Structure 1
């Protein structure tokens, strides 16, 4: 069983590497301000390092401040760009999101790029946050939905700008979505379903956001980063499983991420579902009239 899984993962690694694109742009980002959520490790860390290399002012929005400060110091040492900062953000906590945004709007005159990257695979047993939201959905979708809305006015005023929502090809597992029970209160919960649903929501959110941004200089895109070796599994309580160790062991060879245009599931393309999800999300995060900037 272990050998078979190892072989399958090696084949998957070869497949991703043979099909993936490579970013060849040398564009500089001096004078641009960038926020990357979940930038203390993995994809977020590497994205933040790349932005810093290109001369941007980079804000690492992270829950683990000790780890994030070490990463910031590493990035500064690697790039020579001292315009790299850490600010506390827990996307599973709506109060934390609102406080973070108040601080950003007070301290940052401009905001050009927002990378909504922070995410978890939920724990084996369902957890509900103090806001009454399922933990995976709160961290991966609701927190970023609120964050983006609160910063949208500043981004539009600073344009041109880009919003990048990190989704996953795993979203295809979510063949249906119950907009009346996104937090698994009435339906059966399992971490894979919760994660897949949250990644589907990332895409649907992006589609509706892109439509609302038409006529501005801000664009919104979602992406599937591919198979990347990170400590992602340790965030969901899987760090002790042999499967997680094998997966991370194989994928640790993959040190770059890039992507090509690819299609998403039929459900993620449904504009009516995207619009309805937006309305449900507004209610779930209790978006206030003064917080709407579209």
Structure 2
């Protein structure tokens, strides 16, 4: 019902400005990440595009500067499939940036063949959850010093088909690429909830969201028949600009300042699955994530 109501809701827009704000967006060189960067740059923010492929990133920076007429846009190397790269990136940010007001954990991989990150995690849970979990942990002190601040995790409605397999988080016993993707997106929702609880009263708020069914590079791993289905439904899907709107909404909408830990879709609060509200699973996932990443995060 929520989806149908949202479909008829007038489209959201806001004239909110972001001068003096610094924003980090992961995976900002294509798709909704790039569109989010353009929009927030137009609002006057300093934009740091965190990307794995520096050649593509530099081309994207040019495009963001041209589209926004904001020169204060840079790219920095970040490979979320490698904790060494995540730590180097965070060190650079913590050393060079006086503040970080908005962190958008946007990068992701989707239904890819089985593979592992540099740290031995299954690629989808490794990049989509563990990589962003570690990144957020490493940047949190700077974010707390920059309040009011926001952390935004780009999830998906696919979270509602997922479950967290705590006994086999890396799908080593059996691998279903759609199941692993849904698990990673559910992890984003649970991480957002857990983080909100831990950040209560700090001035840092958290949000997870479904961007919509967006035509992006993420489709590249779909099989022939699945690609065909996507072509058929493409009139009902969003382009990258439309897909970026809920990320932008969570980043700038003033009425969300006192909200934290919720799930959003079509620039409005939405219902996440029952699994996405399970605080026991959320806590166990948190503990497992800390253990596997060798960090202590109370």
Answer whether TM exceeds 0.5 for this pair: yes
In the aligned structure 2, how far is the partner of 1:73 from the partner of 1:145? 29
**Cα drift, residue 19 of structure 1:** 4.4
Query: Compared with structure 1, are the counterparts of its residues 99 and 245 closer, same or farther at alpha carbon in structure 2 (3 Å cutoff)?
Result: farther
TM-score when normalising by structure 1: 0.87
Task: Decide whether the 8 Å contact of 2:99 with 2:143 is kept in 1.
Answer: yes
Give, in whole Å, the separation in 2 of the partners of 1:34 and 1:163: 10
How many Å apart are 1:194 and its aligned residue? 0.5
Per the alignment, residue 116 of structure 2 pairs with 128
Aligned equivalent of 1:4: none
Superposition RMSD on alpha carbons, in Å? 2.0
Alpha-carbon distance, 1:130 to partner: 2.6
- Are residues 1:214 and 2:211 paired? no
Give the 3-state SS of the residue equivalent to 1:149 in structure 2: helix
Query: Matches of 1:82 and 1:113 in 2, distance apart?
Result: 18
How far residue 246 of structure 1 moved from its aligned partner, in angstroms, is 5.3
- The range that moved more, 126-135 or 261-270, is 126-135
The unaligned stretches of length 5 or more in structure 1 are 1-13
3-state SS in 1 of match to 2:23: strand
Structure 2 counterpart of 1:108 = 97
Contact 1:16 1:226 in 2 (8 A): no
Alignment partner of 1:152 out of 140, 158, 172: 140
Match of 1:34 in 2: 23
Against the structure 1 CA distance between its residues 21 and 170, is the aligned structure 2 distance closer, same or farther, given a 3 Å change threshold?
A: farther
How many residues align? The count is: 271
Alignment partner of 1:227 is 2:175: no
Change (3 A) 1:47 1:273: same
- Counterpart of 1:198 (choices 181, 184, 189) is 184
Q: Which runs of 4+ in 1 moved over 6 A?
A: 14-17
Match of 2:290 in 1: 282
Query: Offset at 1:177?
Result: 2.2
Q: Are residues 224 and 16 of structure 1, via their aligned partners in 2, closer, same or farther at CA, if it must alter by over 3 Å? A: farther
Structure 2 residue matching 1:256: 3-state secondary structure: helix
Query: Contact 1:230/1:252 (CA < 8 Å) preserved in 2?
Result: no
Q: 2:224 aligns with which of 236, 241, 251?
A: 241
**Residue 177 of structure 1: aligned partner:** 164
CA distance 1:38–1:16, change in 2 (3 Å): farther
Structure 2 residue aligned with 1:6: none
SS at match of 2:242: coil
**Would you say 1:167 and 2:175 are equivalent positions?**
no
Contact 1:171–1:199 (Cα < 8 Å) also in 2: yes
Shift of 1:180: 2.1
TM-score, normalised via structure 2 length? 0.86
Conserved? CA contact 2:144–2:202, under 8 Å: yes
